[in-house]
Structures are given as structure tokens and as C-alpha cells.
Amino acid sequence: MSVLDRTRRRPGAIDGPVNVLLVEDNPLDARSTLRAARKLELADRVDVVSDGQAALDRLRQARADGVPVGLLLLDLNLPGKDGHDVLRELRADPDLQTTPVVILTSSVEQADVNGAYQQGANAYVNKPTGLDGWLEAMATIREFWLSLAILPRR
Amino acid sequence: MHHPATGADREPDRQPDARDLWQAVLRTAVDPIIIIDQDGVMAHVNEATEQLFGYEADELIGRNVSSLMPEPHRSAHDGYLQSYLVTGEARIIGIGREVEALRADGSTVPVALAVSEIKLDGRSWFTGILHDLTKRHLVEAELREAKHGLEERVRERTAQLETSMVELSRSNRDLEQFAYIASHDLQAPLRNVRQGLELLDDHLGETLGQHFDDEANELRDLTVAAVVRMEEMIDGLLSYSRLERGGEPTQNLVDLRLLAEEVIDQMRPELIRVGAIVEVEKLPTVSGDEIQLRQLLQNLLENACKYRDPERSLRLSLDATEGDEGMWQISVGDNGIGIEAEQRNRVFDLFRRAHPGYEGVGLGLAICQRIVERHGGDIWIESGPNGGSVFNFTVPGPTRVPSGTET
């Protein structure tokens, strides 16, 4: 039985698939994430933007369109508004504040980790190395966040 | 030539009158000579006196000699004379000293003055012989100036040297900072190169399927290997430069025997794999940075495993001897493949590898050297008894721990 089959049977999936927004400015990291997503048959659920302001715009637009983002994969080191800024603004916005956020970054600085959790991140993950690493990370994220965990719904 | 070479006695020249002769000598003497009576009145002066002071002789004779002195001696001179004649205590007479002489034009000139007393018919006369010191003073001034200039130059050079040293240590710091920043910031693009390669590989694999030929596989593997190697070098450079960024190593008491046992425990699987026998002699407690000393021991032991002789089982020994000035010498010996004599100093250089065909980027020993140097010690290699190597390093013993940290 594949992970995907199990996903379909979870109660969390009743309202349809969860949309994932990836905020990543490094095109190769974005490509790796997308390729891994594609191999896990998640490609049509994952959207990518490359800076903080675009992320907030997309989150609000998606909500207005009735297809809210169910999980945000957020890089910290971004041009303009960085990941910390996005997180702070998100948590201060009544419409968006319950959005689950997984930080996906190459930073291992303890200050970044602590800061992210303080600002309301739900998980902090280091970017994997190698395509196999990405596959494993994305499979784990799917398994936990899109299958095991029950996410807030409107 | 005017005298016969026979050496026969010559008829002496006709002798002039001794009195005439002495008068002439006094008159033409190079140094001024002044004779005064016991009231200080000048009775005789010679030509040199006229020249030095700028007076004619008859302008001087009959005048008090104090007119040739600047104040305060000018006013006091009569008193000096009286005091001598009453007490017999000489301040200049028979002694001589350096004084200022006052010329007709009002200028002064330094002179050495020697005064002697003559008694004739119950009266005292005094003879003063003066020697112009102007030239000597000039020379002395020049010497002083030269000495001063020399001191000034030494000061300047010292200041320059100090500036250079400050600059050197700053540029060293900058270099260390640069190494850190460069290695840290090079990680991200290199990570992208690796990612791009893997994505390309995956993509070509998907689109071409099994049609990836041997040449393509080989090129990909070579490129990935180059990337991996560069990642290792950057990682090594980072840990090397982190040694500097950590500031001065901490100075704690470190039980080297305990530390060695921990390192050996940690390396147990590898030591068993290569069939190593490790002998740890009595190791001292030293003062230093435990984390860095652990890395030092680990690097040396790992090197010994790596460069073991495949023909025989590896024997490792750790030993210590007490050295000078509170330092301990630690020796890590092996019976491995050894290092050629001319390579022994170079292996501590960054990215230097003594043996081709082994993995690694050549940073392990550079890090070892840096750690030892930062502890104020030395590291060097000697050849071992069985063709292997002995790595020696020195570290400060516990007595060198600053007061307060010692238990």
C-alpha cells in the first residue's frame, strides 16, 4: 500500500486536497522540491513564489478565491521581506494566522530556529542535500502534514 | 739633511736671553694669558687675549679683569678674590673650570680657565690662561645632535615596526576572516552546482531512460566527485578558520589520558576494522582547550589508521615526556608507511597531501598545527623505529594555568 493510498483515506482529506505554497528564491532548491513533489504525485498541489511579498499576496489571493493554502513551506533567507517577516505578518493576520508553516532553510543558526518557533512556525526543517534527500524530506512532509496531521479548515 | 749623517755633536745655536725667550713665548702663545694683581687689576695680557676679546692691550691693562666677565661673575669677582686672600679657599685657582668670557662687542665665548698664583716680594699675582672652547662646543653640539637624530631615527623605526606589526596582525585577522567568509559563502553556490547536476542527471535519466551511455555516466561521476571534493575542502577550511574565530583557546585542565581513551573508544569500530593495537602510556594532565585537543588527538589517530602499512597490523603508541618551561611533549607513534624526510615539514601546510592515492583534502595536519600553535606549542614529525612516523607535539602543563582556574 503506497503512502498516497493512505492519504486518500485520511479524514483530513474529506474537503479535498491540501494546497501547498513553497516560498523559495533559489531556483535549484525550488526545482528540487518540485521534482521531488512530482515524483510523489504532489505536483499539482504545490505552487511556488520566490519572495516574501509575493508569498503574502498569494496567500491572500488564494483565500479570496476560495482555495486557501493549507501548508506553507517557507525559506528564511529571501530577498526583500524575509521568512521571519512573512511569518510575523502571517501570524498577525486574522484570516491567515492558522496556516501551518514549515520552515525549510539551509540555516542551522540557533537564533533562526528559536526565532522561527517564537514567531509561530510549526516545524523547522533543514534543506536536504541531494535529490534523494529532497525525496525523503518531501515524503516525510506529505506523510505527516498532508496525511497524519489534521489541519485547520474553514 | 741639514745635519751631517755622521751623528757627530753639533755646535748649538746661539742661545738668546731666557727672559726675552719667555716673554716672546707668552706674547705669541695661542691661548690668551692674563696676569692680574691681587686687586684684580690686569697687569699684562698677550696678543691672543687681544684677539679673543677684541681689545687692544693698553685698553685692558690697568682695568679690572671683571670687565671681561659677564654677570653675575662680573660683580662678584672682587669678592671672590678677597675671599681667597682672606680664607685661602680656592674656587678656581689651581683648579680651572669652564667659564664665559665677555668680548668687547658684548658677545660671550666659552673658555676653559686655568688660574695659578705667583708670589713675588710678598705680593700675590694671578695668571689666567684661557682656552677658547667654541670649536669644542660646536663639535659637542654636533655630536649631541647626531646622537639625538640617531635616537629620533630609532624611535621612528620602532614606531614604524610597531605599526607594521599591528598592520600584520590585522591583515592576519582579515585573512582569517576572509577564509571564514569565503568558505562559508562558497557553500551555497556549490550546493547549487551539486543540485543542478543531480537534477540534470535525474532529468536525463527520465527522458533518455536506459540510453545513458558509459561515457555520460563517467563524466557525471567525475564531475560529482570534483564537487564532493570541493565540498570537503570548503568544510575543512571552515573548521580551520573556526579555530581562529573562537578567539583564544580556553585554558582548562585536561586529563590527556582520559581524553585519549575517549577518542579511542569513539574510534573503536575503525580501530578494530584495521586491526590496530593501541598502547597508551601514562599521559599527563595539561592545560588547554578540551575540544581542540580532542580534535588534535583524533586527527593524529585517524591519520595513523589511514596511512597504515597494509603488510602488517597497525601498532599505535601514545607517550609523554616532561619538557622545559612547564611544557609536556606528547608523542603519537605508528608503524605505518611513514613520511619521507623532505615531506615532513610540508605536510602541515594547508591542502598539502604527502601521499597520493589516499582520500582527503590535506587539512587534518594543518588543523593539528594550528591547534598546537594556539596552545603555544610546536608539532613535528620524526621517523618511527619500524619505518613508521612519530608525531610529537608540545602543550603547556597544568602549572601554566593562570591562577584561579587551577584546582
Minimum distance, in Å, between the CA of residue A40 and any CA atom of chain B: 14
B82 pLDDT band, cuts 50/70/90, is confident
pLDDT of residue B64: 87
pLDDT of residue A154: 60
Q: What is the pLDDT of residues B61-74, one digit of tens each?
A: 888 888 888 888 87
Cα separation, B341 vs B138, whole angstroms: 64
pLDDT, averaged across chain B: 85
Cα separation, B87 vs B89, whole angstroms: 5
For A131, which of B188, B191, B198 is closest by C-beta distance?
A: B198
Q: Which of B192, B197, B198 to mutate to test the interface with A (most CBs of A within 10 A)?
A: B198
Minimum distance, in Å, between the CA of residue A32 and any CA atom of chain B: 7
For B199, which of A26, A31, A106 is closest by C-beta distance?
A: A31
3-class SS string, chain B: CCCCCCCCCCCCCCCCCHHHHHHHHHHHCCCCEEEEECCCEEEEECHHHHHHHCCCHHHHCCCEHHHHCCCCHHHHHHHHHHHHHHHCCCCCECCCEEEEEECCCCCEEEEEEEEEEEEECCEEEEEEEEEECHHHHHHHHHHHHHHHHHHHHHHHHHHHHHHHHHHHHHHHHHHHHHHHHHHHHHHHHHHHHHHHHHHHHHHHHHHHHHHCCHHHHHHHHHHHHHHHHHHHHHHHHHHHHHHHHCCCCCCEEEEHHHHHHHHHHHCHHHHHHCCCEEEECCCCEEEECHHHHHHHHHHHHHHHHHCCCCCCCCEEEEEEEECCCCEEEEEEEECCCCCCHHHCCHHHCCCCCCCCCCCCCCCHHHHHHHHHHHCCCCEEEEECCCCCEEEEEEEECHHHCCCCCCC
Identity of residue B21: L
pLDDT at B404 over 60: no
Q: Sheet containing A46-49: which strands, arranged edge to edge?
A: A46-49, A19-23, A69-74, A101-105, A123-126
Cα separation, B66 vs B63, whole angstroms: 8
Q: Is B323 exposed, middle or buried (0-12, 13-18, 19+ CB in 10 A)?
A: middle
| Chains A–B, number of C-beta pairs less than 8 Å apart | 27
Q: Measured between alpha carbons, how far is residue A122 from residues A18, A68, A72, B210, B338 in Å?
A: 16, 18, 10, 42, 54
Residue B192 in contact with partner chain A when CB distance is under 8 A? yes
pLDDT of residue B406: 38
B6 pLDDT band, cuts 50/70/90, is low
Minimum distance, in Å, between the CA of residue A112 and any CA atom of chain B: 17
Torsion angles phi and psi, residue B236, rounded to 5: -65, -45
Domain A3-8+16-143, CATH number (from 3.90.1170.50, 1.10.510.10, 3.40.50.2300, 3.40.50.720): 3.40.50.2300
Instruction: Tell me if B199 and A106 make a contact (CB, 8 A cut-off).
Output: no
pLDDT at B405 over 70: no
> Nearest-CA residue of chain A relative to B184?
A107
pLDDT of residue B8: 55
Is pLDDT larger for residue A2 or for residue A35?
Answer: A35
Q: For residue A29, how many other CB atoms are within 10 A of its CB?
A: 23
pLDDT at A7 over 50: no
Q: For residue B202, how many other CB atoms are within 10 A of its CB?
A: 17
For A35, which of B191, B192, B202 is closest by C-beta distance?
A: B202
Instruction: Tell me if B198 and A32 make a contact (CB, 8 A cut-off).
Output: yes
| Contact in structure between B92 and B126 (CB atoms under 8 Å) | no
> Nearest-CA residue of chain A relative to B224?
A130
B10-24, B93-107, B364-378: least confident range: B10-24
Kindly list the residues from chain A whose CB atom is less than 8 angstroms away from the CB atom of residue B199.
28, 31-32, 35, 131
pLDDT at B79 over 90: no
Residue B228 in contact with partner chain A when CB distance is under 8 A? no
pLDDT of residue A10: 47
CATH 3.55.50.30 corresponds to the domain B18-132: no
DSSP A152: P
Kindly list the residues from chain A whose CB atom is less than 8 angstroms away from the CB atom of residue B196.
28
Q: How many CA atoms lie within 13 A of A149 on its CB side?
A: 18
Domain ranges of chain B: 18-132, 138-245, 252-400
| Contact in structure between A104 and A24 (CB atoms under 8 Å) | yes
pLDDT at B343 over 90: no
Cα-Cα-Cα-Cα dihedral of A28, A34, A37, A39, to 10°?
-80
Instruction: Tell me if A28 and B196 make a contact (CB, 8 A cut-off).
Output: yes
A64-68, A132-136, B342-346: least confident range: B342-346
Q: What is the pLDDT of residues B199-237, one digit of tens each?
A: 998 888 888 776 678 888 888 888 888 898 888 888 888
Report the DSSP pairing between strands B252-255 and A123-126. Answer: unpaired
Instruction: Tell me if A26 and B192 make a contact (CB, 8 A cut-off).
Output: yes
pLDDT of residue B210: 66
Minimum distance, in Å, between the CA of residue A122 and any CA atom of chain B: 25
The answer for A 13-52 residues in CB contact with B (under 8 A) is: 26, 28-29, 31-32, 35
Cα separation, B322 vs B226, whole angstroms: 45
| Contact in structure between A24 and A50 (CB atoms under 8 Å) | yes
Minimum distance, in Å, between the CA of residue A131 and any CA atom of chain B: 6
Residue A94 in contact with partner chain B when CB distance is under 8 A? no
Instruction: Tell me if A130 and B194 make a contact (CB, 8 A cut-off).
Output: yes
pLDDT of residue A11: 45
Choose among B336, B354, B337: nearest CA to B345.
Answer: B354
> Nearest-CA residue of chain A relative to B192?
A28
| Contact in structure between B305 and B277 (CB atoms under 8 Å) | no
> Nearest-CA residue of chain B relative to A134?
B195
> Nearest-CA residue of chain A relative to B206?
A39
A3 pLDDT band, cuts 50/70/90, is very low
pLDDT of residue B371: 92
For A28, which of B192, B201, B202 is closest by C-beta distance?
A: B192
Q: What is the pLDDT of residues A53-67, one digit of tens each?
A: 999 999 999 999 989
Instruction: Tell me if B202 and A29 make a contact (CB, 8 A cut-off).
Output: no
Residue B220 in contact with partner chain A when CB distance is under 8 A? no
Minimum distance, in Å, between the CA of residue B210 and any CA atom of chain A: 18
Class of domain B252-400: alpha beta
Kindly list the residues from chain A whose CB atom is less than 8 angstroms away from the CB atom of residue B204.
none
> Nearest-CA residue of chain A relative to B231?
A129
Kindly list the residues from chain A whose CB atom is less than 8 angstroms away from the CB atom of residue B191.
106, 129
Choose among A114, A52, A122, A115: nearest CA to A89.
Answer: A52
pLDDT at A70 over 90: yes
Minimum distance, in Å, between the CA of residue B273 and any CA atom of chain A: 29
Residue A99 in contact with partner chain B when CB distance is under 8 A? no
> Residue for cell digits 498532508?
A146
For A131, which of B188, B192, B199 is closest by C-beta distance?
A: B199
